[in-house]
Amino acid sequence: MNAKRLSRFLPPFLFAILMQFVAFFTLTHAAVAPTGDHLALLAIKSMIKVDPQGVMTSWNHSVTNFCQWQGITCDLRHHRVIILDLSSSGLIGTLSPLVGNLSFLRAIWLENNSFSGEIHPKIGRLFRLQELDLSINSFTGNIPATIMNCSNLQVLNLGNNNLVGKIPDRIGALSMLNTLILRVNILEGGIPSFISNLTLLETLYLGNCQLGGSIPDVFQRLRNLRTLVVSDNNLTGAIPPSFYNCSSLEEVFLDHNQLNGRLHENLGLKLPRLQCNHAVEIHTNHIDSGFWNNDYL
């Protein structure tokens, strides 16, 4: 029965009250009805098998506003999820591919849990994403090449997992990247040459990845690089000449490889911040450190 017909059977004041109630219910229901983000979050919860801290207790099918759920931050204008933070929550499960439907996400922080399974290629649908931290979990499979579609990514931390295969060349297209951490995985194919394209890079952690090969001569354009960690990779050959152009370097860890050659005799002038921090780690290689061995290392 429509409003016009209903008005014929009710006194005017009752009809007016009823219409106000209907308007209020409709508005309220529209505001809290399941949306794409709501359904995507429920899909993420459905893949979690153990939640010892109960952080997802508030995640439910009720009319509760999902922006108030624990671990969720929404923007004020669109009421869309911009941060998913379930870090250090003891969660056991897999990451639903529907995380790719949270198209307003700026940050995903899932570090220090027990997520397993593959990182689904749909992660590449998050073109607004700026930070992705899936470290200290048990993710397996390859690093998805689709991650290159996250063109605003500034922090990519996939360290301390069980990822395999080559580091995708397409990561070299992430021109905004300032932090790349892939340490403690089971990777192959050597240190990729695309590193030279990441001109804003400040932190590069590739330690204990079983990469092999030599250190490519890719440092010419990495003027912002402050921390370089490539230890425990069975690397061979000499330190490339362009390494000495990274004048912003503050920490370097090359230890537990099979590198050879000799450190530059003017290393203190070339890399003055290393001299100040005494942060050059080269032991268990075949590198002649010269006077640096006693004075700075």
Distances (CA, A) of 67 to 31, 47, 103: 11, 20, 15
pLDDT at 21 over 70: no
- Please report the domains of the chain, with CATH numbers, ordered by start residue: 34-177 (3.80.10.10), 202-297 (3.80.10.10)
Distances (CA, A) of 41 to 65, 70, 238: 12, 11, 49
Closest CA to 255 of 234, 276, 277: 234
Supply angle C-alpha 248, 252, 254, rounded to 5: 145
Closest CA to 130 of 187, 189, 84: 84
Q: How far apart are CA 194 and CA 171, in angstroms?
A: 8
Q: Which of 15-24, 28-37, 189-198 has the lowest mean pLDDT?
A: 15-24
Q: Which of 51-65, 81-95, 138-152, 275-289 has the lowest mean pLDDT?
A: 275-289
Please write the tens of the pLDDT for every residue from 24-59: 443 344 344 456 899 999 999 999 999 999 999 999
Q: Within the chain, what is the greatest distance between any pair of CA atoms? A: 100
**Span 141-152, mean pLDDT?**
96
Rounded to two decimals, the pTM is 0.84
What type of residue is 200? L
Percent of the chain with pLDDT over 90: 70
Q: Which of 22-36, 93-107, 175-189 has the lowest mean pLDDT?
A: 22-36
